[in-house]
Amino acid sequence: MHDALNFYGERIAGVLSPKSNNDVNVVTKGLVLYRQGMVTKLTIDEELIHGVVQDVMKVDVTLDLTFPSNSSCSCPAIDLCRHQLAVFFAAYSKSASVSDWVDDWKHKNDAMYKLKKSLESGPVFKGTESKPVQQKVKPDHNYASWRAFFANVAREELTLPPYFMMGTHRIASSYQRAIQRSEPDNRQWVPLYRSMAYFHGIRFLFDQDSESLDHFRKEMLQQSVHELYLAIIDEMSRFETSIRPFDSEEFIGAFLEETQGLLYTDSFVFYRWQLYGLIWSASLSSKEERAAERSRLESLVTSLPEADAELGQMMIVHLLMLEQEDEAALAIIQLLGPAACFYLTFMLEDMNMLKQHARMIPFVEFYTKNIKAYLLHYHSQEYKRTNYLYNALQIIRPFSSATKRFDLLERMLRETIPYSLIPYSHYLYEKKEYKKWVELQVAERVNVLAEWPQQAKEIQKEKPEVLLPLYHQQVIQLIGGKNRAAYRDAVRYLKKLRTIYKKLKQVPAWESYIAYLSDTYKRLRAFQEELRKGKLIDAAD
């Protein structure tokens, strides 16, 4: 029981931050409630602790020592509350000092406090006392020492807990703070030091991914990776724009070598690809180093599994793009086929941000031809296909405007129907290509008056004849619904048709059509009634 309670105490100490005013407030109020004797009916089992806390109102508290996230309190608070802390303190006091727990929590980020505690608890040998070795706060100034230090800090701060609990997503922040406390005194080294540390932290997180992770820990892992990824982007940007420290070549060379491990991780393809491109940048690597890396990859990819080989080929593409060898890069992309669209999306986004629009043209031509095959093969759910396409359009639209290659934008929209139905409809309407717009709505069986009422109204003013096939189709579909509401909608479309025929001075054609329609569906009494109410046929009919 003592071990389980200690475990629970360690986890909530990791969740709560002494630097957060809210967390300090929760701990303080919980301590006050415990010390005032407000915790009653305390029962301690193997895995659960129950208690009642007399606050403004009585609340019932249950602490789950095995799965702390399942702990509960009848108060309105969503996260860990003062009542849970009060019950924990009451139980903890049975076997340990609550004051010591609070002190340890307050100073959990204080290296000197930890050192003092370790010295106080260590053995003392009378007469032969020797000074205890102080725990290193900073590593020695060499890459091997840095690497070992990063590994130790990652094990301490980035190891996923065995359960999910509110606030445990802070592991990445805790890792960053630990790294920042250990950074070199020479500020020129700080961006490189942090970049390397965050890279090693991400690699440590990669290694924890497995199918056995539950949903919550999987999400925690994703969030932590993403947080460190954003941090390394910031630090790499700082390093590229600052003065490079003297004798940093050894560190940078070792850093580049570390990227070789990115090929051998089963998941996180996006982050592996992005990290590789971030580190193997023109400012961090030399032309000779990139040539050697390319040769290494070319000799390696043929022996790799398909997924890893695909990533390896795109790493080669990145190196070729740095050397402006676009034709060779495009040749590899064409060999990969639709699968390359995943990586190409990010490449095009980068080129678009750099306004390299002319350079993008051959890659966009490949992209627009292969994007639908990629969506169908690699995204099983339609909403994911639609979301991916909408994100891709954020890149292709400004490219088309800059290069006047609207044909490529239209090709992409046309090829990705039905996922592009809405943006393609907007595109055709803005271009005043009303005939194509109508053909698209007919092909996709869209209820135009419901989905595009304003557009239909404007088209009816400018080019009403193109709406005829669309409205005719809508009428037949609605009559097929065989219910009163559908018949009313059909009459709405018929009135639109009558207006168009009159505007085109084709009244006889309208009269023939409505007579034919009334006769064809004469057995549908409700439909006939709606026609009469709409004054589309005479009451005598």
For the chain, the structural domain boundaries read: 1-109, 144-285, 337-416, 461-534
Beta partners for residue 54, in sequence order: 58
SS3 536: coil
Confidence band, pLDDT 50/70/90 cuts, at residue 498:
very high
Confidence band, pLDDT 50/70/90 cuts, at residue 539:
low
Please compute the mean of the pLDDT values over residues 145-168 and round it to a whole number.
81
Q: What is the edge-to-edge ordering of all strands in the sheet holding 48-54?
A: 39-44, 48-54, 58-64, 72-73
Mean pLDDT score across all residues of the chain: 87
Which distant-in-sequence residues (6+ apart) come within 8 Å of 149 by Cβ? 136, 138, 139, 182
Please compute the mean of the pLDDT values over residues 258-268 and round it to a whole number.
83
Asked if pLDDT for residue 120 goes beyond 50, the answer is: no
Asked if pLDDT for residue 541 goes beyond 70, the answer is: no
Cβ atoms of residues 82 and 56 within 8 Å: no
Please compute the mean of the pLDDT values over residues 59-70 and round it to a whole number.
83
SS3 505: coil
Confidence band, pLDDT 50/70/90 cuts, at residue 119:
very low
Cα radius of gyration rounded to whole Å, the chain: 34
Between residues 266 and 285, the one the model is more confident about: 285
Confidence band, pLDDT 50/70/90 cuts, at residue 128:
very low
Asked if pLDDT for residue 116 goes beyond 60, the answer is: no
Please compute the mean of the pLDDT values over residues 287-312 and round it to a whole number.
90
SS3 217: helix
Cβ atoms of residues 174 and 19 within 8 Å: no
The span from the CA of 124 to the CA of 133, in Å, is 13
Which distant-in-sequence residues (6+ apart) come within 8 Å of 280 by Cβ? 256, 259, 290, 293, 315, 318, 319, 322
Please compute the mean of the pLDDT values over residues 390-417 and round it to a whole number.
95
- 30: burial class by Cβ within 10 Å (0-12, 13-18, 19+)? buried
- Give pLDDT, residue 111: 57
Q: What is the pLDDT of residues 505-536, one digit of tens each?
A: 999 999 999 999 999 998 899 999 999 998 88
The span from the CA of 183 to the CA of 137, in Å, is 9
Which distant-in-sequence residues (6+ apart) come within 8 Å of 244 by Cβ? 188
Helix segments in 133-211, DSSP class H: 143-157, 171-181, 190-206
Q: Is the dihedral of CA 409, 414, 415, 420 positive or negative?
A: positive
Q: What is the pLDDT of residues 3-39, one digit of tens each?
A: 778 878 888 888 888 888 888 888 888 888 888 888 9
SS3 413: helix
Structure tokens at 284: 């961090």
Cβ atoms of residues 412 and 396 within 8 Å: yes
Highest mean pLDDT among 97-101, 239-243, 391-395: 391-395
What is 302-326 written as a DSSP string?
A: GGS-HHHHHHHHHHHHHHHHHTT-H
Cα dihedral 511, 513, 518, 520 in deg (nearest 10): 150
- Give pLDDT, residue 132: 41
Q: What is the pLDDT of residues 468-487, one digit of tens each?
A: 888 898 899 899 988 999 99
Return the amino acid letter for 195: S
- Give pLDDT, residue 279: 93
Specify the pTM.
0.66
Structure tokens at 508: 């006889």
Q: 375's torsion region: left (phi>0), alpha (psi -120 to 50) or beta?
A: alpha
Asked if pLDDT for residue 219 goes beyond 50, the answer is: yes
Asked if pLDDT for residue 318 goes beyond 80, the answer is: yes
